[in-house]
Amino acid sequence: MATPAPAKVIKDAAKDVAQDVTPDIVDAQVILTPLLDALDIVGVAVFALSGALIAAKERQTFVTLAFFALLTGVGGGSVRDLLIGAPVFWMTDPWVAAACLLVALAVWFTPTRWWDGKLLDYADGVGLTAYAVLGSAKALSYGIPPVPAMVMGVVTGTVGGIIRDVIAGRPSILMRPELYVTAAALSASLCVIGSVLEGPRLLVWTGAALAGLALRGAAIHYNLSLPPYHERRAATDAEAQQPD
Amino acid sequence: MATPAPAKVIKDAAKDVAQDVTPDIVDAQVILTPLLDALDIVGVAVFALSGALIAAKERQTFVTLAFFALLTGVGGGSVRDLLIGAPVFWMTDPWVAAACLLVALAVWFTPTRWWDGKLLDYADGVGLTAYAVLGSAKALSYGIPPVPAMVMGVVTGTVGGIIRDVIAGRPSILMRPELYVTAAALSASLCVIGSVLEGPRLLVWTGAALAGLALRGAAIHYNLSLPPYHERRAATDAEAQQPD
Amino acid sequence: MATPAPAKVIKDAAKDVAQDVTPDIVDAQVILTPLLDALDIVGVAVFALSGALIAAKERQTFVTLAFFALLTGVGGGSVRDLLIGAPVFWMTDPWVAAACLLVALAVWFTPTRWWDGKLLDYADGVGLTAYAVLGSAKALSYGIPPVPAMVMGVVTGTVGGIIRDVIAGRPSILMRPELYVTAAALSASLCVIGSVLEGPRLLVWTGAALAGLALRGAAIHYNLSLPPYHERRAATDAEAQQPD
């Protein structure tokens, strides 16, 4: 018969309650899961490492190292999942939180210089741009419109680090002119544009991640930064305020 | 027949899962949407403007301006929606995030003094009190009891600014004696009281917003502020501590 | 017949949408509610008191006292509920927010020294460890796996205080070597381990809370603290960095 199976009707009705957000959950699971699960845990671990290292450099206790590893590792993805209405990813996965605690243990028992340096910066760049793509793609798969989906990519990549800096009382990555948030924004934008234009998924994702990573890599290598507000713009304003 | 349509039964059952929160969603949409949609986007834009201006004055890059515009513009409403269990408003609306980015662009290409001054303070007061009313009304329409609904009004009006200040490393509006949070609390309280007493909705909302705005306007014009803890209260305590 | 009642089927289907999280809601309500409701409001009040006192000591206004009471009182539980996908507890309970406001009133009209001192530290320790147990138990009852459920216990006990410190611009409890977060982690871990081993619920909960409280009490009484990163570990690292 043409009648849909009752279970499906019921599930669809239940989904409708979520008001306009039509979480394309099954599709997202089938496609995202096998491809991105490994990447996901690597991203969490890299961010957790950066959180634990900051706590270690401030001579904190193991408990603080573990807390920083966790909130830096899962912070961005948690905020994304809450905003798009998805179950928070590390609540249903028994390994993510454990991975963060293992990273904290590894940092605790080793000198920080083992981990630090340019290599960590590049690894962080990989996590940042991969997460920007993953975050945008997940938001789109939950029916979020393009502009907020792009923002979700940036949020996924950067909010963990922002929370880490705020709690540690450090100047936030958000306030530095480095091309950091910008690299995430580039990857997220390309991912959304490519998806809206229905480009081949693997190509769009890989291209978007590599473009952001290239920008971030160039920024690390050549110390590139964005111009601040006053230099290029509003010269009149700056002059007018000189007497102050 | 008296039997309700199956789809409705199913939807109602799905809603029941949300445990005691009976989101009066249809009613809320019909009544709130046409009246408040325009106000909503104006509120977002005013708050986004205040966020972008703070970033511009700290000589930040465009990416930082955009991030601050966004988190100040949508922060309060996002926290409210998460707490009351509603879909986050700017996730289903393609224009809210775009409006914040446009505001950031406008600030980037103009001198900050174009925007600053008393006029912005009053515009911010309009956004604050309108949001306090909107937040309380939305919470009530989702079945939240009166006291937490009042708190949701204050949260909607002030949390965007609090997040902005925390990330920028500035003293929070919460810590200043200005009648700012208080104006939001007045509007939210009047809205909740009027709604519980089943006053005519338009009158309650308008009156609540205007009362808060009058208080905030007086505070701006006459530099009014609340008394701090030690002046009026606990004089004995203060004296006892003098030897310190 | 063996056919389940239609309403149950529908509700189950609706729950399935929540993807793998199988909120054992009915069970949680029946068991947790009568036993822990009183404890819950006491925990909220103790945390609210600590928030209001900090605002009072910084000579803030009543509105700020109330805001700090509220966010310290309900912050940890709110983040937990959002992460595990439960309705936020104080949104469905008309008394929690009111209790926080009453605590703020009590602090406002009394000298802070009435409240302060060792007794408050111990009361705070009771709230901390009780909340760690309550948070873990609630997470487990929502089908969260063991490690993240343990983290939820720590989050419930500590996040309110962390938000309070961040907004007040104080060094976070997270950054101090005191056995504070550690006591919460001990209680949460014991609760999760006991629950996974299916120990008798009341015994597990009481034992877990008392163990954490004993640790916290010893830390208060003997000024115990955890070793920081550099003292015990990575001596080579410290030596290598001496020339800096």
* Distance from the C235 Cα atom to the nearest Cα atom in chain A, whole angstroms: 8
In chain B, the residue whose alpha carbon lies closest to the alpha carbon of A185 is: B63
Query: In Å, how far are A56, A58, A162, C235 from A61, measured between CA atoms?
Result: 8, 9, 21, 15
The residues facing C225 across adjacent strands are C178
A10 contacts in B (CB within 8 Å)? 10
Q: Is the CB of A69 inside 8 Å of chain C's CB atoms?
A: no
Write the residue in A14, A113, A166 that is nearest to C237 by C-beta: A113
Tokens matching residue A169: 């009382």
Lowest pLDDT segment from A26-40, B55-69, B216-230, C76-90: A26-40
Write the residue in A174, A185, A233 that is nearest to B108 by C-beta: A233
As a whole number of angstroms, the distance between CA C17 and CA C4 comes to: 19
Q: Is the CB of B168 inside 8 Å of chain A's CB atoms?
A: yes
Cβ-defined contact of A228 to B87 (cutoff 8 Å)? no
C78, B76 Cβ separation under 8 angstroms:
no
- Contacts with C, B 181-220, CB within 8 Å: 181-182, 185
Annotate chain B with three-state secondary structure. CCCCCHHHHHHHHHHHCCCCCCCCHHHHHHHHHHHHHHHHHHHHHHHHHHHHHHHHHCCCCHHHHHHHHHHHHHHHHHHHHHHHCCCCHHHHCCCHHHHHHHHHHHHHCCCHHHCCCHHHHHHHHHHHHHHHHHHHHHHHHCCCCHHHHHHHHHHHHHHHHHHHHHHHCCCCHHHCCECCHHHHHHHHHHHHHHHHCCCCHHHHHHHHHHHHHHHHHHHHHHCCECCCHHHHCCHHHHHHHCCC
Residue A75 confidence (pLDDT): 93
In chain C, the residue whose alpha carbon lies closest to the alpha carbon of A112 is: C237
Tokens matching residue B163: 């997040």
Cβ-defined contact of B21 to C59 (cutoff 8 Å)? no
How does DSSP classify residue A243?
Answer: T
Residue A6 CB contacts under 8 Å (≥ 6 apart), including other chains: none
B131, B42 Cβ separation under 8 angstroms:
no
How does DSSP classify residue A176?
Answer: S
Cβ-defined contact of B175 to C166 (cutoff 8 Å)? no
Q: Each residue of C154-207: pLDDT tens digit? A: 999 999 989 988 888 888 777 777 888 999 999 999 999 999 998 888 889 989
For residue C129, pLDDT beyond 70: yes
Write the residue in A87, A90, A94 that is nearest to C146 by C-beta: A94
Q: Is the CB of A71 inside 8 Å of chain C's CB atoms?
A: no
Q: Angle A148-C85-C96 (CA atoms, 0-180°, nearest 5)?
A: 110
Residue A176 confidence (pLDDT): 76
Q: Is the CB of B171 inside 8 Å of chain C's CB atoms?
A: yes
Question: If phi over 0 gives left and psi between -120 and 50 gives alpha, with beta otherwise, what is residue A144?
Answer: beta
Cβ-defined contact of B92 to A20 (cutoff 8 Å)? yes
C168, C54 Cβ separation under 8 angstroms:
yes
Q: How confident is the model at residue B34 (pLDDT cuts 50, 70, 90)?
A: low
* Distance from the B146 Cα atom to the nearest Cα atom in chain C, whole angstroms: 7
For residue A39, pLDDT beyond 80: no
Q: Which residue has the tokens 């005691």?
A: B20
* Distance from the B201 Cα atom to the nearest Cα atom in chain A, whole angstroms: 24
Write the residue in B147, B166, B228 that is nearest to C61 by C-beta: B228
Cβ-defined contact of C20 to A82 (cutoff 8 Å)? no
* Distance from the A95 Cα atom to the nearest Cα atom in chain B, whole angstroms: 26
* Distance from the B176 Cα atom to the nearest Cα atom in chain A, whole angstroms: 20
Say what angle helices C62-84 and A62-84 make with each other, to 10 degrees: 80
Q: What is the DSSP string of chain C?
A: --SPPHHHHHHHHHHHTTTT----HHHHHHHHHHHHHHHHHHHHHHHHHHHHHHHHHTT--HHHHHHHHHHHHHHHHHHHHHHHTPPPHHHH-TTHHHHHHHHHHHHHTS-GGGT-SHHHHHHHHHHHHHHHHHHHHHHHHTT--HHHHHHHHHHHHHHHHHHHHHHHTPPPGGGS-BSSHHHHHHHHHHHHHHHHTT--HHHHHHHHHHHHHHHHHHHHHHT-B---HHHHS-HHHHHHHTT-
pLDDT averaged over chain A? 79
pLDDT averaged over chain B? 79
Cβ-defined contact of B59 to A229 (cutoff 8 Å)? yes
As a whole number of angstroms, the distance between CA C75 and CA B224 comes to: 30
Query: In Å, how far are C64, C85, C90 from C75, measured between CA atoms?
Result: 15, 15, 10
C58 contacts in B (CB within 8 Å)? 175
A152, A146 Cβ separation under 8 angstroms:
no
The residues facing A225 across adjacent strands are A178
For residue B220, pLDDT beyond 50: yes
A190, A208 Cβ separation under 8 angstroms:
yes
As a whole number of angstroms, the distance between CA B84 and CA B90 comes to: 15
Interface test with C, best of A17, A61, A108, A170 (most C CBs within 10 A): A61
Residue A60 confidence (pLDDT): 85
Q: Which tops the pLDDT comparison, A42 or C214?
A: C214
Write the residue in A14, A67, A168 that is nearest to C181 by C-beta: A67
Query: In Å, how far are B26, B222, B227, B244, C106 from B231, measured between CA atoms?
Result: 49, 20, 7, 18, 16
Tokens matching residue A240: 């007018």
B166, B172 Cβ separation under 8 angstroms:
yes
As a whole number of angstroms, the distance between CA A56 and CA A103 comes to: 12
Handedness of CA B130, B135, B136, B140 (dihedral sign): positive
pLDDT averaged over chain C? 79
Q: How confident is the model at residue C60 (pLDDT cuts 50, 70, 90)?
A: confident
Length of chain A: 244
CB atoms within 10 A of CB B198: 8
As a whole number of angstroms, the distance between CA B57 and CA B83 comes to: 33
Helix segments in chain A, DSSP class H = 6-16, 25-57, 62-84, 89-92, 96-108, 118-141, 146-168, 181-196, 201-222, 229-232, 235-241
* Neighbors of chain A with 3 or more C-beta pairs under 8 Å: B, C
Percent of chain C with pLDDT over 90: 39
The domain spans of chain A are 24-226
As a whole number of angstroms, the distance between CA A224 and CA C223 comes to: 48
How does DSSP classify residue A31?
Answer: H
Interface test with B, best of C32, C67, C138 (most B CBs within 10 A): C67
Q: Each residue of B74-108: pLDDT tens digit? A: 999 999 999 999 999 999 888 899 999 999 999 98
Lowest pLDDT segment from A118-127, B34-43, C145-154, C216-225: B34-43
Tokens matching residue A122: 């590049």
List the one residue out of A152, A139, A142 whose CA is nearest residue A18. A142
Write the residue in C7, C25, C112 that is nearest to B13 by C-beta: C7
Q: Each residue of B150-182: pLDDT tens digit? A: 999 999 999 998 998 888 888 877 777 788 899
Q: Each residue of A82-138: pLDDT tens digit? A: 999 999 999 988 889 999 999 999 998 888 777 777 778 888 888 899 899 999 999
As a whole number of angstroms, the distance between CA C53 and CA C56 comes to: 5
Write the residue in C16, C148, C226 that is nearest to A63 by C-beta: C226
Helix (H, G, I), strand (E, B) or coil at A178: strand
Residue C34 confidence (pLDDT): 59
C137, C190 Cβ separation under 8 angstroms:
no
Q: Is the CB of C146 inside 8 Å of chain A's CB atoms?
A: yes
Q: Each residue of B187-203: pLDDT tens digit? A: 999 999 999 998 888 88
List the one residue out of C28, C59, C233 whose CA is nearest residue C137. C28
* Distance from the C233 Cα atom to the nearest Cα atom in chain A, whole angstroms: 6
Write the residue in A10, A228, A240 that is nearest to B61 by C-beta: A228
CB atoms within 10 A of CB A115: 18
Cβ-defined contact of B20 to C82 (cutoff 8 Å)? no
In chain B, the residue whose alpha carbon lies closest to the alpha carbon of A176 is: B60
B191 CB-side CA count, 13 A: 35
How does DSSP classify residue A174?
Answer: G
Q: Which tops the pLDDT comparison, A24 or A6?
A: A24
Q: Is the CB of C228 inside 8 Å of chain A's CB atoms?
A: yes
Q: Is the CB of A25 inside 8 Å of chain C's CB atoms?
A: yes
Residue A35 confidence (pLDDT): 61
Q: How confident is the model at residue C32 (pLDDT cuts 50, 70, 90)?
A: low
Q: Which tops the pLDDT comparison, B54 or C31?
A: B54
